[in-house]
Structure 1
Amino acid sequence: MGRLLRVPAAGAALFVLATMVPAPEVPPAAASAPAAPAAAAPGRFALAGKLIQGGLASGTVPRGTRMLTLEGKAIPFASDGRFIIAFDRDAPASARLEAALADGTTVSETLAIAPRAWDISRLDTLPKYPVPQPEFERTRPGELAQITAARSKETDAAGWRQDFLWPVTGRISTLFGSQRVYKNGEAGSYHSGIDIARPTGTVVLAPADGVVVLAAAKPFTLEGNLLMIDHGMGLNTAFMHLSRIDVTVGQRVRRGQPVGAVGMTGRATGPHLHWSLKWRDARIDPLLVAGPMPMAD
């Protein structure tokens, strides 16, 4: 897989590479979960974590904040002033963070978002795949509606405050953000998560505390057995291709709790776990949240 160019795209690709992929080109200090920020100085934000495409950061609002916005969109913050923000794979170079204070003044900061280089592979002789089939077109809208409904659920989960665990450890077979470009320069959707190759039946752990918001009753066309966990403050996990799901919708799960098992249901060429993270509309690189992959058992 060559790293040749950046191609803008939206959505999520679901494909598996058989070979080991190189480490992503990000500053070494970025490859760790954001630490809890210090208390904000008067009239200032306190931020922790790298501001980078696909990254997650945490912060504390200035004292007296009554409303917080990022690029004009309101975002929640806890009673102690803590909040999280994240930046999509194709996030622009800057974002404006603003707090409206009770005394009528505002505090704002323009955040510089570091760019990244993505792994792009060219398949110039192949048309974009898959070609939509009637069965896919019939079932897919209902599946997407379930995913959208799950992501719209707001819970009081506090996993967003925790350091995230790797749900499984093993060989990373596809990196977040990688993309294929097909015949006539038609770009496929970029890979929305990270793939970890492990045998079917390998236990999958909850990366942080949360509430189950989707546990597929039957395999989805692309994702297979799909499990989604809300970690609070708009941050959620999705596990795809599971061989089984061991939790139910509405169940509270704890960091490190078994929630399912690796499989190859849905569109998958071999057993692996696809783990994706999303904050609101921003897709996040799990490698930047969970840190470097530890050695597998």
Structure 2
Amino acid sequence: MVQGGAVIGTAPKGTTLLTFDGVPVPIAPDRRFLIAFDRDARSSALLVATLGNGEQVRHALTIGPRAWDISRLDTLPKYPVPRPEFERLRAPELAQINAARRMQSDSQGWRQQMLWPVTGRISTLFGSQRVYRGEPGSYHSGIDIAQPTGTVVLAPVDGVVVLAAAKPFTLEGNLLMVDHGAGLNSAFMHLSRIDVRVGEHVRRGQPIGRVGMTGRATGPHLHWSLKWRDSRIDPLLRAGPMPAAS
């Protein structure tokens, strides 16, 4: 277990309530469950299963640290849109994103082995961060995969579409979000085209859009991010090594 990772486990027989650091975690009928650890997760966490007879089974978890790619710059960040104007544009976009993340489906995609939505050169890793004159900027919340505009993007696992941007967002461009169940969701950014609609059930390997460079992007690529509740997850740990070019 490491920062940016996730675990699928099995609750003890007879469990009526499972908590992760005090917060209830859904348990499937077969007692399977999902938990994940944020990029900046602390070194320890606690799982507590409460059984039907009131007994509690406690399991302390150790979360390993990771070394992130940190760039220290003697400059200030550049904002292509003036800050007040950016914040005015951003507020309704964040409201849409947050509303989509609150949508829960009964998808079982969280159980499946993830495939890469696009294969190619990874141009930016999860967790990388720039520090501007000692002030940390926000870290990179997903993985960037460089591919030409128009490259087909596939659903990594089953899910339900919870957001399909009607117009490009300021940062994310054409944004698509898919809920995989159990609190896990994917976001696909900078798309040139979105090929699915809100409420649509998608299957692992199904085409869902096309690579682009809409929003804040310097070249065509797919930004793929994963989130479990409020924890950001490294897609590389869920999908495994990038397949070699054929």
- What range describes the TM-score normalised by the shorter chain of this pair? over 0.9
Within-5 A mapping of 1:170-181: 170-181=120-131
Give 2:37's aligned amino acid: F
Rounded to whole Å, the distance in 1 between the matches of 2:46 and 2:31 is: 18
What CA deviation, in whole Å up to 9, does each residue of 1:96-140 have, x standing for no partner? 00111110110011100011000000111x113327433312110
Match of 1:139 in 2: 89
Give 2:198's aligned amino acid: V
Match of 2:33 in 1: 83
Within-5 A mapping of 1:36-185: 51-124=1-74, 126-130=75-79, 132-183=82-133, 185=134
Q: In the alignment, is the contact (CA less than 8 A) between 1:215 and 1:247 conserved in 2?
A: yes
Rounded to whole Å, the distance in 2 between the matches of 1:222 and 1:186 is: 21
**SS of residue in 1 equivalent to 2:236:** helix
Match of 2:152 in 1: 203
Match of 1:216 in 2: 165
- Of residues 209, 212, 223, the one that matches 1:260 is 209
Rounded to whole Å, the distance in 1 between the matches of 2:85 and 2:132 is: 24
Give 1:106's aligned amino acid: Q
**SS of residue in 2 equivalent to 1:177:** coil
Q: Would you tell me which structure has more strand in proportion to its own residues?
A: 2
- Of residues 169, 188, 201, the one that matches 2:137 is 188
What TM-score do you get using the length of structure 1 for normalisation? 0.81
Q: In the alignment, is the contact (CA less than 8 A) between 1:119 and 1:179 conserved in 2?
A: yes
CA shift for structure 1 position 189: 0.3
Match of 1:22 in 2: none
Give 2:14's aligned amino acid: G
Rounded to whole Å, the distance in 2 between the matches of 1:173 and 1:81 is: 38
Gaps of 5+ in 1: 1-50
**SS of residue in 1 equivalent to 2:28:** coil
Give 2:173's aligned amino acid: G
Give 2:234's aligned amino acid: D
The runs of at least 4 consecutive aligned structure 1 residues that moved more than 4 Å come to none
Rounded to whole Å, the distance in 2 between the matches of 1:127 and 1:135 is: 19
Rounded to whole Å, the distance in 1 between the matches of 2:126 and 2:68 is: 9
Question: Number of residue pairs matched?
Answer: 245
Give 2:167's aligned amino acid: K
**SS of residue in 2 equivalent to 1:223:** coil
**SS of residue in 2 equivalent to 1:256:** coil
Give 1:70's aligned amino acid: F
Give 2:47's aligned amino acid: L
Q: Percent identity?
A: 73
